[in-house]
Amino acid sequence: MSKKMWGGRFSQETDKKVDLFNASIDFDKKLYRQDIAGSKAHAMMLCKKHIISKEERDAIVNGLDEILAQIENGKFKFKISHEDIHMNIEAALTKKIGDAGKKLHTARSRNDQVALDMRLYLRDEIDTILELMQKLLSSLTVIAEDNIDLIMPGYTHLQRAQPIRFSHHAMAYFQMFKRDVMRLIDCRERVNVLPLGSGALAGTTFNIDRDYVAKQLGFSRVSANSLDSVSDRDFVIEFLSASSMIMLHLSRFCEEIIIWNSAEFSFVEISDAYTTGSSIMPQKKNPDIAELIRGKTGRVYGNLMNILTTMKALPLAYNKDMQEDKEPLFDTVDTIKASVDLFTSMLNEMKLNEGYMEESAFGSFTTATDLADYLAAKGIPFRESHKITGKIVKFCLENGYDLMTLPIEKYQKFSK
């Protein structure tokens, strides 16, 4: 006879290798707070609906609080034999309070329980990431305001194109990150749906109160279809997609900072606190944090592709494949938080080299478009003014002038 909590119909124990391969406790123990919060709300509802007694409810809630304290004090021993966070906590609760602990799982399944835990976890983490993103937006605003008159070259094809304000360049990234914030807010709305009460797939025969549980846990609404509730990981995919966009934008900005920090540009200097040295070249000061954020972008993209591939052909409802959703999600959350936080700190301490920026802004004929526009404003068709300006630039290159030093009489040889 199997000793598993679900082992009533099994005549032998699972192979030890199966236990190791099947267990998720090594990573889903991260969900202990959410699992306990969900179980407490579920117990309160079971009592409200007279499915368990007040005494059983109190024993469950107090027992769960004690387990929470044990976990946070590092005194709780997680067991692979109990497979996951849900059964580890339930087994410990039953051992602590007896038969009342066995009643906690009434009217629910691990399928809707894990969906609940994931939504609670992701909702909290989105709130944390939104706070970090707001700090980044604030930093960009301050840097732009403090350097409102700083001129730099704008680029296309990484070639100097036209002079622009540094503040304008910085606020381009503000717009990108602002869209990221909007995506996270939209994602959070779809995360904030209660799946508990869906059972394994077909709901429950018990007269439960899902709206009560939703209110206890701060959900805005309850899910509409039990099959969808337990098999849905769209909210994870949507978050990973939004995270990929954040990393995309961070990576683009990091790339520019890495270029600007090079001796060839010298537009900025990254603080010593966010660079590292070389083990062989004493003079080196490497932009490792910016490079790492750029590199970790591929990691987050991979996590998104991981879940998309896992979910692409799964029939309804729950399948064990879906256990593979947690590690990519947890890794992405940790990567996003660290990347946004470090990038903001690096940005705040970055020194701008105004002289190099402004000198570069007026080199390489960056005001040529203004000259063409000037001629067009005098009534010359733009295509003709473009051609005239091109000839002027060619003359300057061949004769050692630039548009700032070319005498007016030489300009007038090309156009009166």
Q: Are residues 216 and 309 in the same domain?
A: yes
Q: Give the model's pLDDT for residue 7.
A: 62
Two structure tokens written together for 64: 């769960």
Number of residues in the chain: 416
Domains of the chain: total: 3
CATH value at residue 96: 1.10.275.10
Give the whole-number percent of the chain exceeding pLDDT 90.
92
- Within a domain: 142: yes
Query: Are residues 85 and 134 both part of a single domain?
Result: no
What tokens appear for 14 in the block?
């699972």
Residue 26, token pair as written in the block:
């090594």
345 with 254, same domain: the answer is yes
Closest Cα to residue 24, out of 64, 78, 69, 90? 78
Q: Each residue of 131-189: pLDDT tens digit? A: 999 999 999 999 999 999 999 999 999 999 999 999 999 999 999 999 999 999 999 99
Q: pLDDT per residue over 320-352, tens digit each?
A: 999 999 999 999 999 999 999 999 999 999 999
Q: Is residue 124 part of a domain?
A: yes
Band of residue 4 on the pLDDT scale cut at 50, 70, 90: low
Q: Identify whether residues 177 and 300 lie together within a single domain.
A: yes
In a domain, 1, yes or no: no
Is residue 158 in a domain?
Answer: no
Q: Are residues 11 and 39 in the same domain?
A: yes
In this structure, the answer to whether residues 80 and 13 fall within a common structural domain is: yes
Q: pLDDT tens for residues 71-114? A: 999 999 999 999 999 999 999 999 999 999 999 999 999 999 99
Would you give the distance in Å from CA 382 to the centre of its chain? 46
3-state secondary structure string across the chain: CCCCCCHHHCCCCCCHHHHHHHCCHHHHHHHHHHHHHHHHHHHHHHHHCCCCCHHHHHHHHHHHHHHHHHHHCCCCCCCHHHCCHHHHHHHHHHHHHCHHHHCCCCCCCHHHHHHHHHHHHHHHHHHHHHHHHHHHHHHHHHHHHHCCCCEEEEEECCEEEEEEEHHHHHHHHHHHHHHHHHHHHHHHHHHCEECCCCCCCCCCCCCCCHHHHHHHHCCCEECCCHHHHHHCCHHHHHHHHHHHHHHHHHHHHHHHHHHHHCCCCCCEECCHHHCECCCCCCCCCECHHHHHHHHHHHHHHHHHHHHHHHHCCCCCCCCHHHHHHHHHHHHHHHHHHHHHHHHHHHHHCCEECHHHHHHHHCCCCCCHHHHHHHHHHCCCCHHHHHHHHHHHHHHHHHHCCCCCCCCHHHHHHHCC
CA distance 165 to 153: 8
* Whether residues 235 and 340 fall in one domain: yes
Q: Specify whether 278 is catalytic.
A: yes
- Domain of 72 in residue numbering reads as 7-102
Classify residue 321: in a domain, yes or no. yes
Last residue of a domain, one of 102, 120, 137: 102
Domain end point (choices 340, 359, 378):
359
Domain identity same for 308 and 228:
yes
Same domain, 148 and 285: yes
CA–CA dist 201, 115 (Å, integer): 12
Query: Does the residue 270 lie in any domain?
Result: yes
CATH number for the domain harbouring residue 341: 1.20.200.10
Whether residue 245 is contained in a domain is answered as yes
Check whether residue 94 and residue 77 sit in a common domain: yes
Q: Which string of b and e fits 267-303 if b means at least 16 CB within 10 Å?
A: bbebeeebbeeeeeeeeeeebebbeebbebbeebbeb
Q: Is the pTM of this model over 0.75?
A: yes
In a domain, 250, yes or no: yes
* 247 CA to centre of own chain: 7
CATH number of the domain bearing residue 399: 1.10.40.30
Q: Are residues 228 and 275 in the same domain?
A: yes
Whole-number pLDDT of residue 6: 53
Residue 47 contacts residue 54 (beta carbons within 8 Å): yes
371, 355: one domain: no
State the catalytic residue, choosing from 53, 278, 339, 415.
278
Choose one of 317, 334, 359: the last residue of a domain: 359
